[in-house]
A = this chain, B = another copy of it.
Amino acid sequence: MTTVGRIALDVMGGDHAPRKILEGALRATDPTRDDGLHADRILLVGPRAQLSPILAEHNALDRFEILDSVEVIGMHEEPGTALRAKPKATIPMCIEAVRSGDAAAAVSMGNTGAMVGAATLILRTLPGVRRPGIAITSNLTGKPTTLLDMGANAAPRGSDLVEYAIMGAALQEGVLGVKDPRVGLLNIGEEDKKGTKLTKEARELLLESGLNFVGNVEPDGIFTDCAEVIVTDGFTGNVVLKLIEGFGSFLLDKIVREGKRIGQPLPDEVLDEAMRSVDYSEYGGALLLGVNGVVVIGHGRSDSNAVLNALKVAAKDLDSNVNGRTVEALAKRAKEHPAP
């Protein structure tokens, strides 16, 4: 057994930790599943004393290696302060495992800011990347669309958005096999002059980037397959993410209630189909692109299905060598467009 391709899983992250996180790991490594991961590929990071009884319940006491870690960074702690106060908490320990080579990927459903902070500090960014970006690949249109940054950096520069575009394109090519993916810039109009100082700056740089840049994409473009990669700043990206989730739940709830009220409840098939569009657990987690290692950040409300999918995302990214491809793409860009 080697530690190549191993995934450090923060068992204490998210609202349903540790039980649902462990159940996700158990499902991902279910030996009766054809697409299951080998249990060797998962390194549990959390308090052994708390995990053992739950594993014992599932007759899986010896299935995983455990990296004992008793401290936890809460969902609402200020990331910088928390990381300084608790360097041995599960989040920095997961990331440290990647740095030391004990694992190749880190997965947490916990504090996003702490994951971004720990990864940036401990793993450092890839050559040519100033700031990492959080990428989510959704499948709303039936074709995967990668959106970034969904909240790592609320105030990026134009050049950061170009780096996001290069990394998003490398992900689409490397993991999803999309040749020369279309890149769009999220904006409030299709016209050149629309937007903010940032979008104008990013637009100019993207036009010269050598990427397959298709120009500005309006927010409804996310649902109409007009680009495989859509870049934006982390503030807007996070608003988009939370709005889709909030509005989707709101609208579905309204439809379900009205159906009940008139005595014609929504059929399960219809509800399931609609839910798939708004259910984060199907996406499995966001990728932090631009750091030296595969880092997956799941939703705080993750259930065991979401954890399972997050582990699959991590495994797939490792197996397709996303980071290697990203480094190559960044180096190619640096050669063709040397920094001024």
Contact = CB atoms under 8 A, between A and B. Distances in A.
B196 A219 contact: no
Nearest to A223: B250
A220 B238 contact: no
Nearest to A220: B246
A157 to B, nearest CB: 13
Given A193-B78, A235-B236, A242-B188, A270 B247 contact: no
B188 A239 contact: yes
A77 B248 CA distance: 34
Interface stretch (A170-178, A201-209, A252-260): A252-260
Given A236-B236, A270-B266, A277-B254, A78 B248 contact: no
Interface in A185-201: 186, 188, 191, 193-197, 199
Contact of A270 (B236, B239, B264): B264
A34 interface: no
B243 A255 contact: no
* A interface, over-half SS: helix
A155 interface: yes
A252 B247 CA distance: 12
A334 interface: no
Sort chain A's interface into a size bin.
35 or more
A251 interface: yes
A278 interface: yes
A270 B242 contact: no
A114 to B, nearest CB: 13
Which of A218, A247, A269: most chain B CB closer than 10 A?
A: A247
A61 interface: no
Contacts of A331: none
A140 interface: yes
B278 A251 contact: yes
A274 B255 contact: yes
Nearest to A234: B188
A26 to B, nearest CB: 31
Nearest to A235: B196
A244 interface: yes
A250 B219 CA distance: 12
Contacts of A264: 267, 270
Given A196-B235, A220-B250, A254-B273, 18 more contacts: A151-B188, A155-B197, A188-B234, A218-B242, A219-B243, A219-B246, A222-B243, A223-B250, A236-B239, A247-B247, A251-B277, A255-B255, A255-B266, A255-B270, A255-B273, A258-B269, A259-B270, A262-B269
16 contacts: A218-B246, A219-B246, A223-B246, A235-B236, A239-B240, A240-B243, A243-B247, A247-B248, A251-B252, A251-B277, A251-B278, A255-B255, A255-B266, A255-B270, A258-B270, A258-B273
Q: Which 3 A-B pairs have the closest CB atoms?
A: A220-B246, A223-B250, A188-B238
